Amino acid sequence: MGAMEVSGSQIVRLMVKLLVGFLLSIATVGASEFKRPIPQGGGATEIHCIIGVLDVDEISDESQNFTINVFTRFRWSDPRLAHGGDGEIKKLLSEVWHPNLLFVNRQRLWSSLGEFVTISPEGETTYRQQSWGDFSQPMNLHDFPFDTQTFGIQVVYTGSDEVNEISLIQDPEFDSFITENYSVADWKIVGHDTSSEPMIIPTVGSIPSFTLSFTAERLSNHYMMKVVAPLLMIVLLSWVVFWLNPSEGGSQLGVAVTSFLTMIAYHVALSSRLPEISYLTRLDVFVFCGTILVFLAMIEVVITTGLAQQGKVETARWLDRVCRLLFPALLTVGGFYAYLWH
């Protein structure tokens, strides 16, 4: 009976060892599946990247961001996933090793495709995704509204592998692209480029990165017709006082004050188009010049009215004639400064 008990305990211990060994083998296989696939010759695991901009919905100066519809494809080789099928098979993204990639400058993003990969018989693994949302982009608006901006879509690797173990490169089969027809109406896209330069983070160091950049020129005709043209009309309206009789001070002052108040309201409406930047744009300089001239026209009315009341009507009329030439010359100089030199 005692020998039977000892033999039974040995069997129990043996079964426990077998169970533990089985669990360890499963854990080892699972761990190996979630380690990066190392190329046969060693070196970094290459992730072939494609970023395609399907549409540009909006570019916001005030919010310093842009809204796009973007397609991405990331492809890598994992021989461990090779299978004997005739074509591609699908697996959930969570079931295979995959690079942990992140859009650095995304703000809000919605994805429309499922989280799965396709695997070729040779183990070529491909992850595709289509996303729509907002991406942040600091903009230099010094030349507004004649500016050209560069917008970037940057993907970085955030996994635990070392920087020299993962490489994000342009896919040699297909180029990254940007659509020729897009929704945004006040910009013209003039070119795009890709880069695989690592991203430098002060507290971390360099991490693998892939960036699609596109350059866009602002179409200034909209601002010339709907911003600059009304501004010129307000300024020209204020110059009507130079042709009115200096003795009619009330009429002159009414026109001058109305023009000045209109200019202030116009300036407030225009400021809502841009963020609260600490420098003046080209349009700001031109608007500021126009505001000063409208203000000076009101001061000139006060001076000529005072001269007329003192009986110096001819002197007041002479000052009006001088201002008819001086003010357009000053506005022209201000326009050239804003457009060429500022």
Q: Please, where are the H alpha helices in 135-248? A: 221-223, 229-238
Q: What is the pLDDT of residue 208?
A: 92
Asked if 223 contacts 283 with a C-beta cutoff of 8 angstroms, the reply is yes
The residue ranges of every structural domain in the chain are 40-219, 222-341
CATH topology of domain 40-219: Acetylcholine Binding Protein; Chain: A, (2.70.170)
Mean pLDDT of the chain: 86
- 258-297 pLDDT, tens digit each: 888 888 887 777 777 777 888 889 988 998 999 999 999 9
pLDDT beyond 90 at 322: yes
Between 311 and 250, residue with greater pLDDT: 311
Q: What is the pLDDT of residue 252?
A: 81
Distance (Å, whole) CA 160 – CA 70? 27
Q: What is the pLDDT of residue 8?
A: 52
Q: What is the pLDDT of residue 271?
A: 76
pLDDT band at 201 (very low <50, low <70, confident <90, very high): confident
The conformation of residue 242, written as its DSSP 8-state character, comes to G
- 5-40 pLDDT, tens digit each: 445 554 545 454 444 444 443 333 343 457 889 888
Peptide bond into 99 cis (omega under 30): no
Q: Quick count: other Cβ atoms within 10 Å of Cβ 189?
A: 17
- 129-167 pLDDT, tens digit each: 999 999 999 999 999 999 999 999 999 998 876 778 899
Asked if 275 contacts 335 with a C-beta cutoff of 8 angstroms, the reply is no
Which CATH superfamily groups domain 222-341? Neurotransmitter-gated ion-channel transmembrane domain (1.20.58.390)
Report which listed range, 49-53, 79-83, 180-184, 229-233, is most confident.
49-53
Between 189 and 19, residue with greater pLDDT: 189
Distance (Å, whole) CA 170 – CA 52? 12
- 165-186 pLDDT, tens digit each: 899 999 999 999 999 999 999 9
pLDDT beyond 60 at 314: yes
- 62-119 pLDDT, tens digit each: 899 999 999 999 999 999 999 988 899 999 999 999 999 999 999 999 999 989 999 9
